[in-house]
Amino acid sequence: MDERILVVGGNAAGMTAASRAKRLDPSLSVTILESGPRIAYSICGLPFALGGRVRFEDLVLFTPETLKNERGIEARVNREAIQIQPSQKRVVAMNRANGEREIHPYDRLLLSTGYRPISPGIEGTDLEGVFTASRLEDGEAILSWIDAASARRAVILGGGYVGLELSEALVERGLEVTVVERSPSLLPSLDPDMARLVEEELERKGARVLTGRVVKRIAGTSSGRVEAVELATGSLRLPADLVFVDVGVAPRVELAEKAGIRLGSSGAVAVSERLETSANSIYAAGNCAECTHLVTGRPMMIPLGTVAAKQGRIAGENLAGRRSRFAGALGTSLVKVLGVTAAATGLSSVAAEREGFHPVAAAIEGRFQASYFGSGAPAKVKVIAERESGRLLGAQIVGSAEGALRIDVLAAAITAGMTVRDASQLDLAYAPPSGALWNPILVALNALAREL
């Protein structure tokens, strides 16, 4: 009989792993169990669908039918995996459509259950008009609510990527938007001096940004509909027809935990370089699994689609019998907020301090275009290195999208363990219409070299 590969979770990591395994060994029987009604969608696209720039249906890359026809993979949607029985090599699932239990045997199992939004632990999160986003349906529900409730005022709790992309969508839809963030600045992967540029852009475009504020509760009408957000700091009351909560994510690990699979100190499933869990023939990949941070060398949770997809690819190779390794990631991220794009990779100065490094940083304003071509592609570039060794620890770029995308060069340099001096000699491309003779990245590195 053909070997059976079972994948729990049908998005970035799970879909990629299933596809890769089947492609490498077409004789495998590959089945995906997905608890939601859809597989293979771009959750990262949700804010853009909400903003009306793309359609929700365009975010779905495969249906179970097209996946079966095009890739020979079975996908069972609305199947909630409720128990792994490692000794029998099977998974018990509940069919949400009819409540029935199903048994899914496997030879090798992949856990790719992703993450869930953390609850802020305050009163009122169950009111009508309060939303989180972990599935495409959440976006559709928000859109319906905006129409049904004729929502005019939105409060976003949490100034992370999703919250800010959603803010953009709601500002563009004409809503009054207030972003409330507990930390002193937005975007925790950026240092405050860089995140400030994003804050200013939101304010310039009419949104209100309140940082360093703790939310007391979400207040509702007697009929259970959201009415306002009340802050503990300053006792402000923010009227709201719509509240979106994005205060963090946690890995979905209940299934693994119940089966006695070891979790790491981050709370996500501990995995080897080959993405094996502590249980025989069981792998984990994506946002439910740990990932080695390439600067600290320590396992952590890096909840990004790019990392999930890469882990999925490696897991798929191992499910198919190869012996592939996943080195780790830097948490490189990019977010567009109205007219500003912010990118970060590696550690921020703040994170580097917290991790016990002695960071030194330099930031410069540059243009990614020859000066005589005008005002092309301005951006602020910040680079961070370890004082003792000069090794690059992290970088951030905020400004034009063209500028922010150059973060990838620094991601490569950090991955390679380059020092500031090494990286400052990188032979980067230049032509007057789309570059500067001294690329702002090199200017920033030269500025940092002076501090070391």
DSSP state of 378: E
* Whole-angstrom distance, CA of residue 294 vs CA of residue 299: 9
- Kind and range of the H or E element at 409? helix 407-415
Report, in Å, the least distance between residue 364 CB and a copy of itself.
16
* Whole-angstrom distance, CA of residue 404 vs CA of residue 230: 35
- Four-residue CA torsion sign, 35, 41, 47, 51: negative
* Whole-angstrom distance, CA of residue 443 vs CA of residue 449: 10
Report, in Å, the least distance between residue 402 CB and a copy of itself.
7
Report, in Å, the least distance between residue 104 CB and a copy of itself.
28
**Active-site pick, 44, 60, 149, 401:** 44
Mapped onto helix, strand or coil, the DSSP state of residue 402 is helix
Beta bridge partners of 284: 111
Beta bridge partners of 4: 29
**Beta-strand runs (E) in 221-279:** 226-231, 237-239, 242-245, 249-251
Axis crossing angle, helix 192-204 with helix 161-172, rounded to the nearest 10: 10
Report, in Å, the least distance between residue 249 CB and a copy of itself.
17
Report, in Å, the least distance between residue 215 CB and a copy of itself.
27
Which residue, 279 or 409, is less far from a copy of itself as judged by CB?
A: 409
Quickly list DSSP for 48-94: HHHTTSS-GGGGB---HHHHHHHH--EEE-SEEEEEEETTTTEEEEE
Q: Residue 330 in contact with residue 318, Cβ under 8 Å?
A: no
Which residue, 224 or 339, is less far from a copy of itself as judged by CB?
A: 339
Which residue, 183 or 306, is less far from a copy of itself as judged by CB?
A: 306
Report, in Å, the least distance between residue 374 CB and a copy of itself.
9
Which residue, 53 or 208, is less far from a copy of itself as judged by CB?
A: 53
* Whole-angstrom distance, CA of residue 402 vs CA of residue 395: 16
Which residue, 48 or 115, is less far from a copy of itself as judged by CB?
A: 48
Nearest to 319 by CA among 284, 360, 359, 365: 284
Which residue, 54 or 300, is less far from a copy of itself as judged by CB?
A: 54
Say whether 44 is catalytic.
yes
Mapped onto helix, strand or coil, the DSSP state of residue 8 is strand
Task: Give the residues lining the site for a copy of itself (CB under 8 A).
Answer: 12, 42, 44-45, 48, 53-55, 58-59, 165, 294, 304-307, 309-310, 313, 326-327, 329-336, 341, 343, 345, 370, 372-373, 401-402, 404-409, 411-413, 415-418, 422-423, 425-435, 437-439, 442, 446
**Please, how many CA atoms are within 13 Å of residue 220, restricted to the half-sphere of its CB?**
16
Active site (catalytic) residues = 44
